[in-house]
Amino acid sequence: MRLLGKCLCAIAISACAVSAGHAAPLLEPTLHLTPQAGSGRVALTLDACGGQTDTRILSALVDNRIPATIFVTGIWLKRNAAAVEIMRAHPDLFELENHGGRHIPAVDTPQKIYGIRSAGSPDAVLAEVESGAAALTRTGEPAPKWFRGATAEYSSSAIAMIRKLGFKIAGFSINGDGGSLLGAKETARRIAAAKDGDVIIAHINQPTHAAGEGVVQGLLALKQKGLTFVRLDEADGIGNDGTTE
């Protein structure tokens, strides 16, 4: 009986390995702004996954009149009412969009991405997207038009489902802060290197991380160069992998 159990266990492990080996690769979509005459435009997108608010970044955006698209989760919204009120007090600067209800990767097969367990099924992907949108509308914000999933990686089938719900999916062209894990100097260097049409991703929910200081430094460098900041709702964005078309 024990031998049979061991055999069945070995078969199960082997089947899982085969399944994992044949799993479709995940996609990390890009997004660029359509070219436009002038000094150059960039879009700053900031993820508010959970935790608190990096007031260094929020204050710099308000003080320097830098527009940004903020991707918020339902978790972050519950914990950061004061920051939400500041953003709502500056509708010319801030556009709030959907980062999901519970910060779960929009992948419809069971796996972990950067240590975060995926939604794991089509129904769970839909629940993550729809609960994030509902959390935003409950605050009085307009219904979101863009979605960015946790980890910014997706299964192709999940992308198709999200698009059928009417959302564009926000990729990016510059990873500014490496998930808020980079140091201030490297974060500033990456962001300051942005050019016309780039879409920057960084984080506004890690106030204790050095990356936040670098985000501010990089943005001020771009402003000094004369680049114009736009929100995603103010510009046409072109994404690959069927994320915007």
Average pLDDT over residues 30-59: 94
Average pLDDT over residues 38-43: 89
**Is 227 in contact with 40 (CB distance < 8 Å)?**
yes
**DSSP-assigned beta bridge partners for residue 72:** 48, 98
Q: Residue 33 is encoded by which pair of tokens?
A: 């702004």
- For the stretch 173-221, pLDDT in tens is 999 999 999 999 999 999 999 999 999 999 999 999 999 999 999 999 9
pLDDT of residue 35: 82
pTM, two decimal places: 0.90
pLDDT of residue 23: 61
Which residues touch 227 (CB under 8 Å, ≥6 apart)? 39, 40, 41, 42, 194, 196
Long-range contacts of 218-221 (CB under 8 A, 24+ apart): 218/176, 218/187, 218/188, 218/189, 218/190, 218/191, 218/192, 218/194, 219/44, 219/60, 219/61, 219/64, 219/66, 219/191, 220/60, 220/64, 221/188, 221/191, 221/192
Whether pLDDT at 146 is above 50: yes
Percent of the chain past pLDDT 70, that is, above it, reads: 91
